[in-house]
Chains A and B, each alone.
Chain A
C-alpha cells in the first residue's frame, strides 16, 4: 500500500534562518505531489505542485521554493524565514488524473520566533 512521510513533525526556527521540509511517498510511481499551508486549523492554501521530476508549479509568490529531485521526493525550502511563514505545512500526493483524491501526510508545524 502507499504511504507518505513528512518530517519533522514540529520545528521551531528563528527569523532569517533557512528551512528544509521533506516529504517522501512509497508504494506508487510518478505521483502528483503538493505542498499546502494551513493557517489556524482552517483552509488550505496550495503553495506548489509537481507532476514530475524537476517540474514545479508555484501558486503563490512568496518566500518559499520547492524541488522534486526524485520521483517520490518533494522538498519545501526557504533561504530566510519570515514570521509570516509560521503555520502547518502539509504534503500530499495523488495518482495522476482529474478524478483522483489527494492523500496527505501528517504535516509539519512550523513556528518562527
Chain B
C-alpha cells in the first residue's frame, strides 16, 4: 500500500528566510508526486508535480521541490518566504499504474511571520 508522511504538523519561518516543508513517500514502482496548497475555507490548489526527469521541479508562486529517489522524499522549498505563503500544504503520491489513486499526506501548516 502506498503512503505519504509529512513529519511536521507546523513549520514557522520568518519572512524573507528560506522555507522547507518535508514529505516522504512509499509506493510500488515509480511515483508521481504532487504538492498542493490550501487557504482557509478553500479547496486545494495545485502547486507543482514530479513525473520524471530533472529532480528539481519548479512550480507556482516561486515554489520548487526536490525529488530524491534514494531517500524517497519530495520536499517543498522556497528561497524567500512571504507572509502570504502562510497556508496548509499537502503532499500527494500516486503510482504510475492504471489502478493507482492519489494518497495525500496529513498536511503541514506553514506560518510565515513578518
Residues of A within 8 A of B (CB): 4, 6, 41-44, 46, 49, 59, 90, 92, 98-99, 101-107, 109
Contacts and interface: CB of A to CB of B under 8 A. Distances in A.
Contacts of B49: 99, 101
B90 interface: yes
Contacts of B43: 4, 6, 90, 92, 104-107
Contacts of A103: 46
A104 B102 CA distance: 14
19 contacts: A41-B88, A43-B104, A43-B107, A44-B44, A44-B90, A44-B104, A46-B102, A92-B43, A98-B32, A98-B95, A98-B97, A99-B49, A99-B96, A101-B49, A102-B102, A103-B46, A104-B43, A106-B43, A107-B41
A109 B42 CA distance: 10
Interface in B12-67: 32, 34, 36, 41-46, 49, 51
Contacts of B97: 98
Interface in B55-114: 88, 90, 94-98, 100-102, 104-107
Given A44-B90, A99-B96, A104 B44 contact: yes
A99 B41 contact: no
Contacts of A99: 32, 49, 51, 96
Contacts, number: 54
Most chain A beta-carbon contacts within 10 A, residue among B45, B95, B101: B101
Contacts of A43: 90, 104-107
B106 A46 contact: no
Nearest to B95: A98
B96 A98 contact: yes
Given A44-B90, A103-B46, A98 B100 contact: yes
A92 B90 CA distance: 15
Nearest to B45: A104
Contacts of A90: 43-44
Contact of B42 (A98, A101, A106): A106
